[in-house]
Structure 1
Amino acid sequence: MFKLKATIIKDIRILLRDRVGLLMMFIMPIVLVVVVTSIQNSTFSLVNKNRLSVLISNTDSGKASKQFIDAIGQIGLFKVEEADAKLTTAQMSDAMHQKDAMLGIIIPADFSIKVARRSQNVTNKALKSFGLDGDSVKKGNNDNPLTIYYNPVLQESIRLSVQGAIGSAQQMVESRETLHRLYFAINNEPLPQQLENEMLKNGNTISTVPVSKGGAAVTPNATQHNVPAWTIFAMFFVIMSLGGSVVREKISGSFIRLKTLPTSYMVNIASKQVTYMLVTVLQAAVIFAMGIWLFPIIGLPKLNAPSDVLGLIVVTLATGWCAVSYAICVGTFTQTQDQANGFGAVSIVILACIGGLMVPTFAMQGFFRSAAAISPMHWCLQAYYALFLENAKLADVLNNIVPLLIITVLLQFITYLGLKRKNLI
């Protein structure tokens, strides 16, 4: 125990002299968490609060086109601005750039005619199904009479949402027209406005509730997603200091000198693990404390700490141990400090990508979705997300901790084989 204590003190002193390593392990993750959370929170605000600007060129003089424009404005997703009528495709593109609009819609001159034609066809079919006579109307073109232009910067998911919303607005116009015609055909009088409102707006209210494994549900926000993810990234970045430390000791001959002393190099390995596990725990504590107390001050959503403190501690220790084990493993097999730093940084970024820190796992397809299981960051992230987002308990995250511990033990075994092969132990 005395030897281990003395070795830990030695490693702490070496660590305190490594100012660049401390900067990479603490300042860089703190800045990264603040910047990424701020950007993503702004993105959430854009999607949830701000509206996409849409430029509409209406070449139709009928009533349906005006109802369609009003319906788009009532959706709540768009900021409608009407442009000059009869714009060509090239002119619409120029107008969108001038107005800084993300979307453009050209309503053709026969929009109201086509809406009326389709509504009449539906009305006739409904009357015949009721056993009543309906006028025979020649079926017209069923193609969508609208042309929608969009800025290429819009992601496909947003574009599909926009397309669905505009399609709903068009459907609302056609449903209103069909309802008017059907009512008039049956009652021979116009549809009252009050009855129209009751029939068209008689929808059920939909409520959304985040799922929870226990206790009150936690409303997800940018902080709840980013702080756990980038905390894991920071913990694994101890490789920039620890991996280089292992390489330096190999190059300087410290391993050989240790063989002449009444101690074992395994004591030195254990010392490094204890020292840097303390560093990873301190990293997590600092970043979590920032999310809880600093973020509300700078205008970011507050981090809601999990109710199961024991589960949070266990997951943090398991994550830190895995990060330290990976760093020592890389340091054992690399020959120079540049190799350790270069390979370590690139491999951490790759593991973060595969593990879901940068792209959600559910959004991956094929091989990469299956490959997530080999990334220790995936299991760390799933455990943290269960605690922070689903209010889970320690028992609920054991299925994530066990694979993480298996990967850690495997890294430890590979490190042992590497040290044995190099005759360092």
Structure 2
Amino acid sequence: MHKLLASTYKEFRLLTRDIGGIAILFIMPLVLIVTITIIQDSTFKSVSETKIPILLVDNDKGSVSQTIVKGLEDSNVFEVIEIAIEEDAKNLVFKGKNQLAIIIPKNLSSDLEKKINQNVEGILDKFGLEEEGEDEPKEIFEAKEVKLYFDPATQFSFKSSVKNEVDKMISKIETQSIYNAFQEQLTDDPSEVIFETESFISFKEILQKKKDENIIPNSVQHNVPAWTLFAIFFIIVPLSINIVKEKSQGTFVRLRTNPVSYLTVLGGKTVIYLVVCLIQFVLMLLIGIYLFPAIGLPKLNVSDKLPLLFLVAIFAGLAAIGLGLLLGTIAKTQEQSAPFGATFVVILAALGGVWVPVFIMPEFMQTLSNISPMNWGLNAFYDVFLRNSSLLDIVPEITLLFLFFIITTVIAIVYNEKKNAV
């Protein structure tokens, strides 16, 4: 025990001598999480709160185009700017001046009304409800296209949401037009209601509840666990450099002349860097609780969750430390450990779902993400933050993190023993 405490104290002295390294360990993750959260939150607001200007070329000037314009304005997402010439609208969009232009074709309202009336009359005639008379030749109508011009830099998700919204509005217009046509053919009294045109099917989002209160996830609850995990795993870079430096400077050779096992040396590093991970975690929580509300972002809700959150942070820190110990043991120079460690953390973050949600990855990458310790840690954090899970629910994830720490540490010890065997 005394040897472990001495090794831990040695690591503490080494760490406190490197002020720049401490700044990187603590300040840079805070800057990262604040920057990313502000960017993502403002991006969300730009879609949901700030109105996006779109160009509209109305070649129809009828009831359908009026309904489309009203639907766009009522959505509280778009600011409709009418423009006369389609070519001008296209040029403005393709040059990046506007994100979207909608072109409504000529005679859309009149041709839609004629086509629907013709179809309704045909149906009523089949049922013998239409007055006898000479059959008039059916008029052939050309299909109409509502054109959407998008800025080439526009994200695919925005394109899909706009196309779905426009398609929904047009489908609703067509349905209501069909009902109205039947109404006019079947009754002479305009006040008599035969068909209800209001939507029968609607959607309702059911949120998870706790103590009869809805649990509503926000951008902060998504970003804090993700980037906290990224910061925790980034300690493999200074940890591996520390081990390599000891080997290159001869410190490790002097340690071997003392009756101290490699396990004790690694134990001292584990204790100190686990404390560093927990300090990082606490700072991240304080940022989410106090700084984010002060700059207009949602407040991080950690009520009744702190014990489980600290438990996940401890095991995530152990997993990161195990990886750093292994990398530092295998690497021969700082030039090997630093670039590889930084790149490997980014790869693990990408696989784990920190950069891109796992569910939108290709199937092969989704399978591969299961081997990333960041994915285990992120799922455990999300279980606590967003799914209101209990200790039993996060046991599988923290067990995997602990096994990862044990396996990487054992490999580091075995590799070191074989390398230094006489």
Asked if TM exceeds 0.5, the reply is yes
The residue aligned with 1:417 is 414
Structure 1 residues 216 and 71: CA distance shift in structure 2, 3 A: closer
> In the alignment, does 2:158 pair up with 1:158?
yes
Q: What RMSD, in angstroms, separates the aligned Cα atoms of the two structures?
A: 2.6
The equivalent position to 1:279 in structure 2, one of 276, 280, 304, is 276
Letter in structure 2 aligned against 1:223: V
- SS of the aligned residue for 1:282 comes to helix
The residue aligned with 2:360 is 363
Runs of 4+ in 1 over 4 A off after TM superposition: 128-131, 134-137, 202-205, 212-217
- Give the Cα separation in 1 of the matches to 2:338 and 2:212: 43
> Which structure 2 residues correspond to residues 213-228 of structure 1 after superposition, within 5 A?
216-228=213-225
The equivalent position to 1:332 in structure 2, one of 320, 329, 336, is 329
- Give the Cα separation in 2 of the matches to 1:69 and 1:12: 66
Letter in structure 2 aligned against 1:30: L
> Which structure 2 residues correspond to residues 25-424 of structure 1 after superposition, within 5 A?
25-84=25-84, 87-88=85-86, 90-96=87-93, 100-124=97-121, 127=124, 132-133=129-130, 138=138, 140-141=140-141, 143-190=143-190, 199-201=196-198, 203=200, 206-211=203-208, 216-305=213-302, 307-423=304-420
- Give the Cα separation in 2 of the matches to 1:93 and 1:82: 13
Deviations 1:282-341 (A, max 9, x none): 110111111112211121110111524332222111001001111111111111112111
TM-score between both structures, scaled by the size of structure 1: 0.91
Deviations 1:103-130 (A, max 9, x none): 1112221212331134225534653676
Letter in structure 2 aligned against 1:300: L
Q: Is the 8 A contact 1:120 1:137 kept in 2?
A: no
Structure 1 residues 337 and 220: CA distance shift in structure 2, 3 A: same
Q: Is the 8 A contact 1:256 1:424 kept in 2?
A: no
Q: Is the 8 A contact 1:56 1:106 kept in 2?
A: yes
Letter in structure 1 aligned against 2:348: L
Deviations 1:33-86 (A, max 9, x none): 0000001110111121123322111122433332332233233332211111xx
- Give the Cα separation in 2 of the matches to 1:401 and 1:79: 48
- SS of the aligned residue for 1:295 comes to helix
- Give the Cα separation in 2 of the matches to 1:158 and 1:222: 18
Q: Displacement, 1:413? A: 2.2
Q: Displacement, 1:131? A: 5.6
- Give the Cα separation in 1 of the matches to 2:291 and 2:421: 46
Letter in structure 2 aligned against 1:150: F
- Give the Cα separation in 1 of the matches to 2:339 and 2:53: 44
Structure 1 residues 414 and 129: CA distance shift in structure 2, 3 A: farther
The residue aligned with 2:5 is 5
- Give the Cα separation in 1 of the matches to 2:312 and 2:105: 60
- Give the Cα separation in 1 of the matches to 2:144 and 2:107: 11
Deviations 1:139-196 (A, max 9, x none): 645634211111122222221111111112222322332222211100024467xx59
Q: Is the 8 A contact 1:3 1:267 kept in 2?
A: yes
- SS of the aligned residue for 2:370 comes to helix
- Give the Cα separation in 2 of the matches to 1:336 and 1:100: 51
Q: Which deviates more from structure 2 when the two are superposed, residues 214-223 or residues 152-161?
A: 214-223
Consecutive unaligned residues of structure 1, counting only runs of 5 or more, are none
- SS of the aligned residue for 2:79 comes to strand
Letter in structure 2 aligned against 1:403: L
* Number of aligned residues: 419
Structure 1 residues 32 and 112: CA distance shift in structure 2, 3 A: same
TM-score between both structures, scaled by the size of structure 2: 0.91
Letter in structure 1 aligned against 2:312: V
The residue aligned with 1:17 is 17
- Give the Cα separation in 1 of the matches to 2:95 and 2:20: 48
- SS of the aligned residue for 1:219 comes to coil
Letter in structure 2 aligned against 1:40: Q
Q: Displacement, 1:214? A: 9.0
Letter in structure 2 aligned against 1:52: I
- Give the Cα separation in 2 of the matches to 1:180 and 1:281: 66
Q: Is the 8 A contact 1:21 1:240 kept in 2?
A: no
Letter in structure 1 aligned against 2:62: G
Structure 1 residues 378 and 122: CA distance shift in structure 2, 3 A: farther
Q: Is the 8 A contact 2:263 2:413 kept in 1?
A: no
Deviations 1:318-365 (A, max 9, x none): 001001111111111111112111100000001000100000001111
**% identical aligned pairs:** 33
- Give the Cα separation in 2 of the matches to 1:371 and 1:360: 13
Q: Is the 8 A contact 1:121 1:137 kept in 2?
A: no
